[in-house]
Amino acid sequence: MPRTTDAPERAIQAAEHLFCTQGYAATGLIQIIEVSGSPKGSFYFHFPGGKRELALATIAAYRARTSAGFRALAEHAAGDPDKFVRVLSRTIADEMATSGWAKGCLAQTLALELAPADAEVADAVAALFDDWVDIIVAATRASGPPRKVRRRALALLAALEGRVPWRASSALLPRSRPSRTSFG
């Protein structure tokens, strides 16, 4: 019978928590291994690419979980765009308050720290933001014409996440097009 282990999941959970509270660069592999309680050999067996490979696995797990959460909120709103925006905003605010305002968004952290120099991480984060935008668009479809709904979805995500989704999402206009205004 093959041996099963939850070491990869524990490492992903530990990495997510640490990346969200102290950042990617400030988080060491030894710290992740210690917090996860996984044996060092097991960690390298499951993540031979080390911390970067773990970061990609963490993005994938975070994407699956948060996108499912966004979809559940959309289902709860039952086609009411205003209710969806209120519920989404309240849910995110509650999560932040629960952490004592100490835990940030994994996607935002990795988009800022890794994506500028790592195309694979940039693509993974962009895919995550694109999922969120698509879910917001679907949940707020009744609020206007498709192009406006998409712009509003991007604006909502930017309001919740800061400027990061505007730079990371592939759902935006081509990046070579300059914006009309720049705020830094």
Confidence of residue 12 (pLDDT cuts 50, 70, 90): very high
Position of tokens 């990869």? 8
Helices 7-22 and 50-77 meet at what angle, rounded to 10?
80
Give pLDDT, residue 175.
40
> What percent of the chain stands above pLDDT 90?
78
Mean of pLDDT values over 75-102 = 94
Four-CA torsion 175, 176, 179, 183, nearest 10 degrees? 70
State yes or no: pLDDT of 166 exceeds 70.
Answer: no
Please write the tens of the pLDDT for every residue from 104-162.
999 999 999 999 899 999 999 999 999 999 999 999 999 899 999 999 999 999 888 87
Distances (CA, A) of 66 to 16, 30, 166: 13, 27, 19
